[in-house]
Structures are given as structure tokens and as C-alpha cells.
Amino acid sequence: IENFSVFCNHITIVPTIKAILDSPDLHLDGFLGPGHVSMVIGTAPYEFIANFYRRPMVVAGFEPLDVLQSIWMILKQIKEGRAEIENQYTRIVPEAGNDPALAAVGKVYELREFFEWRGLGSIDHSGVRVRDEYALFDAERKFAIPNIKIADPKSCQCGEVLKGVLKPWQCKVFGTLCTPEMPLGALMVSPEGACAAYYQYGGVKRQERP
């Protein structure tokens, strides 16, 4: 097969969470863990969040009741003064992860030295690249793709939102210059992003605020 290429921008979650937790201006009380990632890596890699940073995490499913129950589980931990890694999505996510999937990922990909995140900057070992054995399918090597860095507009405050410093609607451009139809920041681009979710379902739009 010669007409198949992969432009790899896959990311790793643990170094990224650690970078957020190490931020001096962190304002997050807990985490909803991603079910789709966790069904591959399991829940064990998250233990450092509770053990070293004393923050609770609940790995959540994607149905509305999954999310509601997971939020309740986090609030219950906070109320009881606990910091644990709990798994709400037990029907899908195993503690030790999916061995065949992990083996396949390890066979094809290797860690990058660093990866550039919109809103967070460069984070060590937070992305992967195609291994040399599969260079034939690596678009970065086949097509000599330039390493172009495109910074978020200075008015965009995605980093502060990710760290809990700001609510999405407190961003200077939320709902005015930055909307799902014309997004500026990463958190408005994806329908799963915090800003897009606030805009669509939060009942708060910037232009409606006094």
C-alpha cells in the first residue's frame, strides 16, 4: 500500500494533566476522566492525580446519566474530603487497560520529545509520532510537512479556561468574536470544548450579559 499516509497528531493525556496540575494559578477541584481514552489505558495511570495532587477524578461515560452520576461522585468525594480515582464507566473501562490496544499503539507509535498545545504551549512527551518501522506511512516524512506554529490570538484565553482560572463566558471574546460558527480558540472549535458547550447549553452568551 503506497497511497496511505498518516499525519499523526495523537496526544497523550497524563503529561498534559500533570502540566495543568503544576500550574501555579490552577483553580480546579476535580476531573471528569475521558472514557474513550480510559478504555485503552485504564484507570491506573491517573493514580498520581489523587496520590500527589490530592484531586479527585471520576472516569465518566458519555450518556447524560453517566455524566450526571460522575459529577455527583466527584462532589461526594469533595464533601467527604477524599481524593480518589473512581470509575463510573465500569461497563467499558478496565483498571489495567486494554492490553491488545496498548500493544498496537506501542508497536506503531513512539513518544515525541514535546508537543505544542493550543492554550497551553509546549508540553514534554505529550504527543506521539510514527515509529521508523512505519515511516512509509508517515506524512511528516513523506511530504516534508513544515513545522508551522500558529499561536492563538492574544485575546483568546483558552489556557485560563483549561486551568479553571476563568469560566468560558468570562473570556474577553466569548460569544462575540469567538462563537462556534467563527471560533478563535481551541475550546470553541470542537463541540466537546468547554467554551462550545457553555455557548450551546450553558444559558450564558456574552452579548446577553449586562
Task: Report the alpha-carbon distance of residue 17 to residue 21 in Å, rounded.
Answer: 6
User: In this structure, what C-alpha cell is assigned to residue 49?
Assistant: 492525580
User: In this structure, what C-alpha cell is assigned to residue 104?
Assistant: 498496537
Question: Where among 149, 175, 195 does a domain terminate?
Answer: 149
Burial (CB count within 10 angstroms: exposed 0-12, middle 13-18, buried 19+), residue 177: middle
The total of structural domains in the chain comes to 2
The pLDDT value given to residue 209? 42
Question: Where among 149, 173, 188 does a domain terminate?
Answer: 149
- Residue 161 makes CB contacts below 8 A (sequence gap 6+) with 119, 167, 168, 171, 187, 194, 195
The pLDDT value given to residue 206? 54
Q: Find out whether 57 and 31 touch, Cβ atoms under 8 Å.
A: yes
Establish if 210 belongs to a structural domain: no
Same-domain status, 35 and 84: yes
The pLDDT value given to residue 153? 82
Establish if 100 belongs to a structural domain: yes
Coil, helix or strand at residue 205: coil
The pLDDT value given to residue 210? 39
Residues of the chain with pLDDT under 50: 208-210
Q: Find out whether 179 and 170 touch, Cβ atoms under 8 Å.
A: no
Q: Beta-carbon neighbour count of residue 159 at 10 Å?
A: 21
Burial (CB count within 10 angstroms: exposed 0-12, middle 13-18, buried 19+), residue 98: middle
The pLDDT value given to residue 2? 81
Same-domain status, 198 and 102: no
Same-domain status, 190 and 124: no
Task: Report the alpha-carbon distance of residue 70 to residue 81 in Å, rounded.
Answer: 17
The pLDDT value given to residue 73? 98
The pLDDT value given to residue 71? 97
Predicted TM-score (pTM) of this structure: 0.84
Same-domain status, 113 and 165: no
Q: Determine which helix (DSSP H) or strand (DSSP E) holds 206, and give its type and residue range.
A: none
Q: Which residue range is the domain that position 124 belongs to?
A: 1-149
